Amino acid sequence: MKDTIYTIPLTDAFNSEDECPFCYITRNLEQDAISFILGSAYMEDDIREQTDKMGFCKEHYKKMYDYGNRLGTALMLHTHYKALEKELKAKMESFSPSQTSFFSKFKKTKASTDSSLDALPHWIKAQDKSCYICNRIDTNFKRYMDTFFYLYTHNPEFKQLFSNSKGFCITHFGDLMTLSETKLNTSQKESFYPLLFAKMEENLKRIEEDLSWFIDKYDYQNQDAPWKSSKDAIPRGIQKLVGTYVQDPPFKEN
């Protein structure tokens, strides 16, 4: 793997001074996915086949609604409904309730582990998580993660960018921990983990201190004191924990 279409956006993300470069990447991927699907992609048969099957998650229905293109949304919803009704009908037809006698309430019956009995609740749960936009983001995000480990191990300038960064949110720190297991060799791990852990510690502490000063600013004695870097301590503090930009206005069709 040489320089790819992922190298420049990834380098930009590390130069952005964001609380987490991977949150920055994810936000761009999400906006790209929303404008893609609500642009004109929903009119393409192969794409529509996927949205019919997958639908969208709670969060992305909200973001699609905020974005605009009501007709596009209605068209996708309509054919997704048709697909869903058909699939649900088949699931309901093959569903059979378990036999519940007075005594069986008190002991675990074999029926409770029966897969035909679990099939419908499992299917319903899976619908909740199934999302065309999440899926599209995940596919591209994996490529950015691969690019990260490639650049980290092959490009000294990128390694420097990494060590100058503000660390990562807890969610993406988790992704880095999971992937580093297979992406790095033993000697690379020896230098990667101490650096990554130091970044996390140092930057969580920095935000903790920003929050502390934010609170102190409410003391009347500090009312004329400068905000320092605390003014946006709440949105940055939340992003660092769960990887979301609470202060972002809704992303809209222009």
Q: Is 172 in the site for Zn ion (CB under 5 A)?
A: yes
Retrieve residue 245's tokens. 């930009």
Can you tell me which of 10, 20, 176, 233 binds Zn ion, judged by CB under 5 A? 20
Can you tell me which of 134, 161, 196, 207 binds Zn ion, judged by CB under 5 A? 134
Q: 22: number of CA atoms within 13 Å, CB side?
A: 26
Q: Which stretch binds Zn ion (CB under 5 A): 122-130, 172-180, 188-196, 223-231?
A: 172-180
Q: Is 14 in the site for Zn ion (CB under 5 A)?
A: no
Q: How far is the CB of 161 from Zn ion (least distance, A)?
A: 16
Q: How far is the CB of 186 from Zn ion (least distance, A)?
A: 27
Q: Is 60 in the site for Zn ion (CB under 5 A)?
A: yes
CA distances from 23 to 16, 86, 170, 181, 227 (A): 11, 37, 11, 21, 25
Q: Is 13 in the site for Zn ion (CB under 5 A)?
A: no
Q: Which of residues 79-118 bind Zn ion (CB under 5 A)?
A: none
Q: Is 34 in the site for Zn ion (CB under 5 A)?
A: no
Q: Is 38 in the site for Zn ion (CB under 5 A)?
A: no
d(CA 142, CA 140): 5
Q: How far is the CB of 40 from Zn ion (least distance, A)?
A: 20
Q: Binders of Zn ion: how many residues, by CB under 5 A?
A: 11
Q: Is 25 in the site for Zn ion (CB under 5 A)?
A: no
Q: Is 76 in the site for Zn ion (CB under 5 A)?
A: no
Q: Which of residues 176-235 bind Zn ion (CB under 5 A)?
A: none
Q: How far is the CB of 33 from Zn ion (least distance, A)?
A: 9
By CB under 5 A, name the binding residues for Zn ion.
Answer: 20, 22-23, 57, 60, 131, 133-134, 169, 172, 243
